[in-house]
Amino acid sequence: MGFDEPGGPDVFRAETVDLPAPGAGQVLIRVAFAGVNRPDVIQRQGFYPPPPGASPIPGLEVAGTVVAAGEGVSPDMIGSQVCALVSGGGYAQYCLAHSGHCLPVPADLSLSEAAALPETLFTVWHNVFERGFVCEGETLLVHGGTSGIGTMAIMLGKAFGLTVLTTCGSPEKCQAALDIGADRAIDYKTDDFVAVVKEFTGGKGVNVVLDMVSGSYVARNIDCLAPDGRHVTIAVLGGPKAEINMAKVMTKRLCLTGSTLRPRSDEFKALLAEEILQVAWPLVLDGTIRPVMDESFPLAEVAAAHARMEAGDHIGKIVLEMPV
């Protein structure tokens, strides 16, 4: 599923392309489901072009069956069910993936759920646990608690012994975040999240902020941070520019960081996948981590899936089901 020119959800059109052949280190996946993510929306709007060499077809995560393997890949992978982080091409019946970016799908996990895991799991693990250096017993503030990223951050945070606060846009979403496991959910439309964070933490502040808003939120996030706190930016939905008081950064000894995952090297993503496989994937295997699912759409209704994401009413992950 592609588009000729950037625009609204209605620019998507079906297309037929040649079946891709896996190169060295790659596998070909017959896709059952593909996750829908905010970067897909931004790509469709014309603001997030695929990195060099990536498929122009949107879609950053898939789940399905490996049907072919390239040079250097164990033939044992053929026939196995996997989910994978990809740099593009997910909105299709077949998709190439680096073999090192695939994770095995446990027997009790549906392929629709498996397709909802890679993008959020890789993003949260790298940014909260690696870049944010979060430790057991610390406190995490997550903005957008009922988004795909937000729900995963809540679940992973609780699984690794964090106290998790989150912001949401309605009482219903706040309750959903609490049901997922958040310790405190703040309705940012009615409450000042800085004041609530200070009250909840007894004035200490949080150790890490996972921010996908940026813009005017950055200065307020800094006010939420405890000394030696870490501010991690993963999106700029509220605007790419922020005005902050650097004296607060200095006196609190804060670390401001951020990242984008899609353009990182195959080697980096393979190392990240291996760490996730060893440390976080056991929580998927034993059922502790299960993605919060919103709605599944047939591939032909991709425009409706994007419209739902843009409306902001979803809770958890939206996925596309591929035609058989």
CATH number, position 112 = 3.90.180.10
Residue 172 belongs to a domain: yes
CA distance 286 to 304: 34
CA 79-81-83 angle, 5° bins:
135
Q: 157 and 92, same structural domain?
A: no
Q: 166 and 234, same structural domain?
A: yes
Q: 82 and 63, same structural domain?
A: yes
pLDDT at 324 over 90: no
Last residue of a domain, one of 226, 258, 290: 258
CA distance 171 to 269: 37
Residue 3 belongs to a domain: no
Q: What residues does 206 pair with on adjacent strands?
A: 225
Percent over 90 (pLDDT), the chain: 99
CATH number, position 236 = 3.40.50.720
Task: For residue range 2-60, list pLDDT tens digits in order.
Answer: 999 999 999 999 999 999 999 999 999 999 999 999 999 999 999 999 999 899 999 99
What is the predicted pLDDT for the residue at 250? Answer: 98
CA distance 120 to 235: 13
Q: Which two tokens stand for residue 210?
A: 């996972």
Q: 239 and 126, same structural domain?
A: yes
What is the predicted pLDDT for the residue at 280? Answer: 97
CA distance 29 to 81: 9
- Residue 57: phi and psi, rounded to 5, are -70, 130
Task: For residue range 149-187, list pLDDT tens digits in order.
Answer: 999 999 999 999 999 999 999 999 999 999 999 999 999
Residue 1 belongs to a domain: no
Q: 223 and 153, same structural domain?
A: yes
Number of domains in the chain: 2
Q: What is the mean pLDDT of residues 235-247?
A: 95
What is the predicted pLDDT for the residue at 5? Answer: 93
Residue 4 belongs to a domain: no
Q: 204 and 81, same structural domain?
A: no
Residue-number span of the structural domain to which 38 is assigned:
9-117+262-321
What is the predicted pLDDT for the residue at 257? Answer: 98
**What is the average pLDDT value for the chain, to the nearest integer?**
97
CA distance 163 to 206: 9
Specify the pairing of strand 206-211 against strand 184-187.
Answer: unpaired
Q: 268 and 171, same structural domain?
A: no
Q: 17 and 111, same structural domain?
A: yes
